[in-house]
Chains A and B, each alone.
Chain A
């Protein structure tokens, strides 16, 4: 199965790329536990 199966996930999003919460949405149905979400901002 997938790379993410059974994993703990750290999400490091980007304000001017893909923000953290958007990535988190993608992971919701999967068998992966999101343990930290952040979004970086360079501006």
Chain B
């Protein structure tokens, strides 16, 4: 996960608190999505960025997981095509792992 983005997420978590803040991902690959989800919850596993050793406990969702929350027309227009392109099941499975609950 980009180092600058780690710093921004850290600051926002401090500002709003972990309960009110949610992270939504648009990543193309299960592995990188999982890595980002892990970084914002348990800390940066690569120990490269500001979140190294900082478990913010944020919940991350891939946008594919939120399909039911979103207006179907908008989802269709913005996201749906990529369900055919990306491996949606693998991504969902991976991201879920890091939400704990």
Contact = CB atoms under 8 A, between A and B. Distances in A.
B79 interface: yes
B27 A7 contact: no
A25 B40 CA distance: 23
Interface residues of B, number: 34
Given A30-B69, A30-B70, A4 B5 contact: no
A20 to B, nearest CB: 7
Nearest to A29: B71
The A contact surface, by secondary structure, is mixed
Interface string A12-43: 11101111101101111110100110111000
17 contacts: A3-B22, A4-B69, A8-B22, A9-B22, A10-B8, A10-B24, A12-B23, A14-B28, A17-B29, A22-B26, A26-B66, A26-B70, A26-B71, A26-B78, A29-B71, A35-B21, A36-B9
Interface of B: 1-2, 5, 8-9, 12, 16, 20-29, 32, 36, 40, 58, 61, 63, 66, 69-71, 74-75, 77-79, 82, 86
